[in-house]
């Protein structure tokens, strides 16, 4: 067989190059997001809705980005191909924009960075080992739930906030100024808060809870709690 034909035949047996590229996705308007899987997502508010998926070809094919109702869902693609035996690729990075966001959740081992969460009533959820970072919260009421070994970090200002920590993960809300704070913790995860008027803490787990600020704390349960102004 001629050398050129032999080389051509060998090239057919080699996996196609999986060089980095971007895939742009047109989206209808959404105001909530759910990251379901080990993906890295960056969401910025203040402009029209859309998304870009970056990574190698295999990684891009492994993620499905779509809107259901008014929720952006980032999840594993049902049509993905597992790739060549032994082949490895980095998870894709999803960059999205939308006018505003009222709710966000992370399920599994993903990461979501959101610049701003706004609205009269807003909600955050982390389930599993994922991480949710909020640059600024501006709302009347906030509800946040952490279940698992993940992490929740946020700053900003809200009038009323209710946090639940039922896992080994951590909540960092020390830079979130809350007027009236309610916390329930039954796991070993650490939580840090800031409250200015009232703080009602129920601590039945081993995780330490710290509340800074001028709020008078009412504490229930045997868990370790430190407040700048403490009442029992």
Structural domain contains residue 199: yes
* Residue 7 domain-assigned (yes or no): no
Distance CA 116, CA 33 (A): 12
User: Taking 60 as the threshold, does the pLDDT of residue 10 lie above it?
Assistant: no
Q: Are residues 44 and 141 in the same domain?
A: no
DSSP per-residue string spanning 75-144: EE-TT----STT---PPPEEEEEES--SEEEEESS-EEEEEEEEEEEEEEEEESS-EEEEEEEEEEEEEE
Last residue of one domain, picked from the residues 70, 101, 132:
101
| 2 lies in some domain | no
51 lies in the same domain as 136: no
Residues 142 and 97 in one domain: no
Whether residues 121 and 232 share a domain: the answer is yes
The reply to whether 96 and 145 lie within a common domain is no
Q: Is the pLDDT of residue 8 over 50?
A: no
Q: Please give the angle made by the CA atoms of 149, 38 and 168, to the nearest 5 degrees.
A: 0
As a whole number of angstroms, the distance between CA 50 and CA 27 comes to 5
Dihedral of CA atoms 27, 29, 33, 36 in degrees, nearest 10, equals -30
Q: What is the pTM of this model?
A: 0.87
How far is residue 155's CA from residue 161's CA, in Å, rounded to a whole number?
Answer: 12
- pLDDT, residue 91, reads 81
Model confidence band, residue 78 (pLDDT cutoffs 50, 70, 90): confident
* Same domain flag for 36 and 121: no
Predicted local distance difference test score (pLDDT) of residue 88: 58
pLDDT score recorded for residue 80: 57
Q: How confident is the model at residue 113 (pLDDT cuts 50, 70, 90)?
A: very high
Q: Which among 49, 66, 101 is the end of a domain?
A: 101
CA gap 147, 129 in Å, rounded: 9
Residues 27 and 121 in one domain: no
Residue in 146, 145, 142, 172 with CA at minimum distance from that of residue 159: 142
Based on the fold, state whether residues 197 and 229 are members of the same structural domain.
yes
132 and 229 fall within a common domain: yes
Same domain, 155 and 68: no
Domain count across the chain: 2
User: Does residue 9 sit within a domain?
Assistant: no
Q: Give the pLDDT of residue 21.
A: 84
Task: Specify burial of residue 149 (Cβ count, 10 A radius: 0-12, 13-18, 19+).
Answer: middle
Name the nearest CA neighbour of 108 among 128, 133, 94. Answer: 128
Sign of CA dihedral 41, 46, 49, 50: negative
Length of the chain: 232
Domain boundary among 39, 66, 101: 101
Q: Is 15 among the domain residues?
A: no
Q: Quickly count: other Cβ atoms within 10 Å of residue 230's Cβ.
A: 14
Q: What is the mean pLDDT of residues 189-218?
A: 97
Residues 158 and 216 in one domain: yes
Domain presence at residue 177: yes
What local confidence, expressed as pLDDT, does residue 58 receive?
Answer: 83
**What CATH number is given to the structural domain containing 182?**
2.160.20.120
Confidence of residue 208 (pLDDT cuts 50, 70, 90): very high
Are 58 and 140 contained in the same domain? no
Residue partners of 231: CB distance under 8 A and separation at least 6: 216, 217, 218, 219
Joined together, the tokens standing for residue 142 give 């906030």
d(CA 59, CA 92): 5
pLDDT in tens, 43-62: 999 999 999 999 988 888 88
Residue 97 domain flag: yes
CA distance 141 to 180: 10
Is 107 inside any structural domain? no
Q: Determine the average pLDDT of the residues in 119-131.
A: 98
Range of the structural domain that residue 217 is part of = 117-232
């Amino acid at each position: 067989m001629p050398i050129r034909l032999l080389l051509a035949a060998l090239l057919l047996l080699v996996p196609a190059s999986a060089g980095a590229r971007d895939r742009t996705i047109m989206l209808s308007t959404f105001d909530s997001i759910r990251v379901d899987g080990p993906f890295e997502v960056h969401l910025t508010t203040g402009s029209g809705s859309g998304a870009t998926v970056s990574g190698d070809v295999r990684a891009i094919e492994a993620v499905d980005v779509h809107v259901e109702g008014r929720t952006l869902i980032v999840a594993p693609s049902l049509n993905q191909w597992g790739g060549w035996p032994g082949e490895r690729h980095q998870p894709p990075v999803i960059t999205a924009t939308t006018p505003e966001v009222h709710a966000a959740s992370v399920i599994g081992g993903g990461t979501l960075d959101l610049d701003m969460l706004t609205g009269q009533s807003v909600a955050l959820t982390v389930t599993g080992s994922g991480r949710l970072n909020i640059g600024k919260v501006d709302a009347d009421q906030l509800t946040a739930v952490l279940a698992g070994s993940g992490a929740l970090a946020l700053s900003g200002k809200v009038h009323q906030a209710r946090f639940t920590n039922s896992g080994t993960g951590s909540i960092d809300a020390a830079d979130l100024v809350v007027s009236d704070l309610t916390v329930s913790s039954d796991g070993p995860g650490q939580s840090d808060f800031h409250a200015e008027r009232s703080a009602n803490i129920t601590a039945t787990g081993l995780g330490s809870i710290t509340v800074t600020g001028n709020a008078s704390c009412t504490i229930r349960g045997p868990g370790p709690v430190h407040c700048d102004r403490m009442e029992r």
